[in-house]
Amino acid sequence: MSAGTQPARVDVEAANRNLADATPEAILAWTWREFQPNVILTCSFQHDGVVLAHMLREIAPDVRVVFINTGFHFAETLAYRDEIRRRFGIALVELDPIMPRGEFATLHGLDLYARDPDLCCHINKVEPLKRYLPGVRAWINGRRRDQADSRQSIRIIEAFQNDLYKVNPLASWTARETFYYMDRHGIPTHPLFDKGYASIGCAPCTRPVVPGESERDGRWAGSNKVECGLHTFLEAAPADGSRR
């Protein structure tokens, strides 16, 4: 593509039809063929992201793996990140909050998560990624439909403004399939997984789940918040196919 030329649009309906029964590996290969080199995988070192990072080693090792370091992760998550990075040989891109820790503490207090978790997520998670996205055409992530009611209608390919496409190769997988993949490939699980943590985000906003709860019930427990905002801030591409 020459400078100033707009990238080709993707027929999302056709892509979703063609990839409906494809394996995650085939979806990743299609994504790289279609959008290289402007492809990222966001990975918070939960099992789904780790599985995708493992698949990409063979399929498209040049995909950038992006970790948003909110400053509130469990020590176990950071140790697991280092272990997986070492095993897979990942050159990780690490995004910092938009505000230095000291300024954040002075302006908002380190307990902002308890008073205004949306603002806390905005500063430490959402805005850092938003600022990284210009130039990215495909954003691969590990969301699955069975994780929560709010994720049941995830499509494999989703189109957003500014020619950005979100790719969800594990949309139709279950937690069990992810676990089996890791077992087959000898990939260690997150150290908190065996302690009942089914979905692991920042330490102050995550607790283990109890029998009968769904995977994400341990996130922001006791509040109405169900998403950090990373997967809700993008605006869908115009239905008329125009570029805005």
Strand 93-95 and strand 64-68: the pairing is parallel
Q: Is 220 left (phi over 0), alpha (psi -120 to 50) or beta?
A: left
The single residue among 120, 187, 198, 209 that binds ligand SF4, judged by CB under 6 A, is 120
- Find the shortest distance in angstroms from Cβ 207 to ligand SF4: 12
Residues forming beta bridges with residue 64, ordered by sequence position: 40
Residue 208 is a binding residue for ligand SF4 (CB under 6 A) = no
As annotated, the active-site residues are: 228
How far is 156 from 143, CA to CA, in rounded Å? Answer: 10
* Distances, alpha carbon 108 to alpha carbons 73, 103, 104, in Å: 18, 8, 6
Q: Give the per-residue contact string, 63-102, with ligand SF4 (x = CB under 6 A; - = no).
A: -------x-x------------------------------
The single residue among 121, 138, 159, 182 that binds ligand SF4, judged by CB under 6 A, is 121
Collapsing DSSP to helix, strand or coil, 61 comes out as coil
The single residue among 113, 139, 181, 197 that binds ligand SF4, judged by CB under 6 A, is 113
Instruction: Give 219's DSSP letter.
Output: B
Q: Pick out residues in 48-67 that bind ligand SF4 (CB under 6 A).
A: none
Residues that bind ligand SF4 (CB under 6 A): 70, 72, 113, 117, 120-121, 124-125, 201-202, 204-205, 228
